[in-house]
Structure 1
Amino acid sequence: MKAILYVVFLFAFSVVNAQSETENVKKTIDSFFDSFHAQDSVGMKSFVSQKVIIQSVGENQQGAVGIHKTSLSDFLKAIASIPKEVSFKEELLDYQISIDGNMANVWTPYNFYFKGRFSHCGVNSFQLVKINGKWQIIYIIDTRRKEGCE
């Protein structure tokens, strides 16, 4: 009987712990976007690794698919340089979170609005690693399109 209770306790603890880690990962993404929308480059920087990789998948004018890489400093400068009177919002539509130990993947479909008007949609894929008890984004890649959006 004690063995059964012990197994039930361990299972319940692991489920609660997994839910807690899922919430911590989601909170990291949400906090990153809170800083993004506030154009707070210091805040955004606090949620990413110093060696973060930022990429976008897209088509050029000839229709060829390519990958565009942006440095963290260029990304932060681009967000900070948007005039304060210009509104923009990336609306995350869902979170698909997978965690294995100290590594997590988050898949977030989104709609992007610029000056209150729909601009484009796509999906973000984030890779995170838990270092010293804190989830950090180490890789961001996204897609961008104007058609096929929900």
Structure 2
Amino acid sequence: MKKLILLIVFSLSLGIQAQDTDSEAVKTTIINFFEAFHKQDTTALKIMAKGNIKLQSITVNKEGKSVLTESEYSQFLKSIASIPKENTFEEKLLDFNIQVDGNMSNAWTPYEFWYNGNFSHCGVNSFQLIKEDEEWKIIYLVDTRRREGCLK
């Protein structure tokens, strides 16, 4: 009986360690995504995604209604590349909440966005990722954008 209990505890600890390792790998993928984003490295950004992923943003219009906008990843890459080099932008990630189930992960990352040294907006990113060949790839990204209720 003692051996069975030890075997169960050992198996559970291995599963937790594997999930911790995957969580760290997902976090690293997202950190690398934003490093490439800030450098306007569209080649690296393309490699981190699985294909032409869909991007969505949720905002609130002047009438207080929720608005969902969609864009293709290829368009996002073109817009990043077209930002003039003299302009600065930074998306500061404030936290990570990562969930992993096998080869699927979700990462929730609250953020602040700064443009040319000025606060622009805040919100949350929700990344969906797939693990292929021991590498995490982004398959979907939705974010919220607002100016009110920010931590800054």
Could you tell me the TM-score, scaled by structure 2's length? 0.93
Write the distance in 1 (CA, Å) between the matches of 2:40 and 2:122. 20
Identity %, equivalent residues: 48
Aligned amino acid, residue 149 of structure 1:
C
Unaligned runs of 5+ in 2: none
Give runs of ≥4 in structure 1 deviating > 6 Å. none
**Partner residue of 2:5?**
4
Tell me if 1:118 matches 2:87.
Answer: no
3-state SS, counterpart of residue 149 of structure 1: coil
- Displacement of 1:61 in angstroms is 4.3
The one-letter code sitting in structure 2 at the alignment partner of 1:122 is G
Aligned length: 150
In the other structure, the counterpart of 1:14 is: 15
The reply on whether 1:98 has 2:99 as its aligned counterpart is: yes
Q: Hey, what does 2:50 align to over in structure 1?
A: 49
Contact 2:91 2:113 in 1 (8 A): yes
How far residue 22 of structure 1 moved from its aligned partner, in angstroms, is 0.5
After TM superposition, the structure 1 = structure 2 runs for residues 1-150 of structure 1, keeping only pairs within 5 Å, are: 1-150=2-151
CA distance in 1, matches of 2:57, 2:145: 8
1:75 Cα offset (Å): 0.2
Give, as a single letter, the amino acid of the residue that structure 2 aligns with 1:129: I
Q: Which amino acid is the alignment partner of residue 51 of structure 1?
A: N
Distance, in Å, in 2 between the alignment partners of 1:72 and 1:12 is: 38
- Is the Cα contact below 8 Å between 2:23 and 2:98 reproduced in 1? yes
CA RMSD in angstroms comes to 1.3
1:62: how far off?
Answer: 4.2
Post-superposition shift, 1:14?
1.2
Deviation at 1:12, TM superposition (A): 1.8
Check the 8 A contact 2:52/2:74 in 1, yes or no: no
Report the Cα offset of residue 73 of structure 1: 1.2
